[in-house]
Amino acid sequence: MDTNHFHPMMVHFPIALLIIGFLFDIVGVFFRKEKCLSKTGLYLMVIGTVGSIAAYLTGEYFTKELTGIAGELKEEHELYAKITMYTMIIASTLRIWLLVLKKTESFWKWIILLLYFVGTITVGYAGFLGGKLVYNIMIIF
């Protein structure tokens, strides 16, 4: 089995899960009585965070080194992947902690939503850069 395919198999999960989960949470802000929106946003956030860890690790350990313009683009891609992963680990941990403390409607809810927004933007941009690597520079991992 070719391990170079592990990263492309993993990357689509955090992109989809984090973006859709964030949208569920935003809609949940406007429809507060509908608790399933926030709960779905939480589940997608946590699963997307785990997916971002898997995507980062497979990218780090199962893709080849690149040089030149492709190498520079890969480094920027990795930077945004790291930002996404660490931001979402912090946001997910805080959110679970607030859930355990039963303080989901505190000020921290807005900090978590902001972190979730940052993670959503950075995962989208990391995906965009990864797409540029594959489609514009024709790098096949």
Q: Which of 15-19, 50-54, 105-109 has the lowest mean pLDDT?
A: 105-109
Distances (CA, A) of 30 to 27, 33, 35, 78, 135: 5, 9, 11, 34, 38
> What is the pLDDT at residue 140?
57
Q: Return d(Cα 111, Cα 94) in angstroms, integer.
A: 9
- Domains in the chain: how many in total? 1
Give me the helices (H) in 31-107, please.
35-62, 68-101
Asked if the model's pLDDT at residue 132 lies above 50, the reply is yes
> What is the pLDDT at residue 139?
60
Q: Is residue 22 part of a domain?
A: yes
Identify the band that residue 96 occupies on the pLDDT scale cut at 50, 70 and 90: very high
Q: Is residue 141 part of a domain?
A: no
Per residue in 23-66, pLDDT (tens digit) is 999 998 888 777 788 889 999 999 999 999 999 999 999 888 88
**Tokens read off for 122:** 């950075």
Q: Is residue 70 part of a domain?
A: yes
The model's pTM is 0.89
Alpha carbon of residue 137 to chain centroid: 24
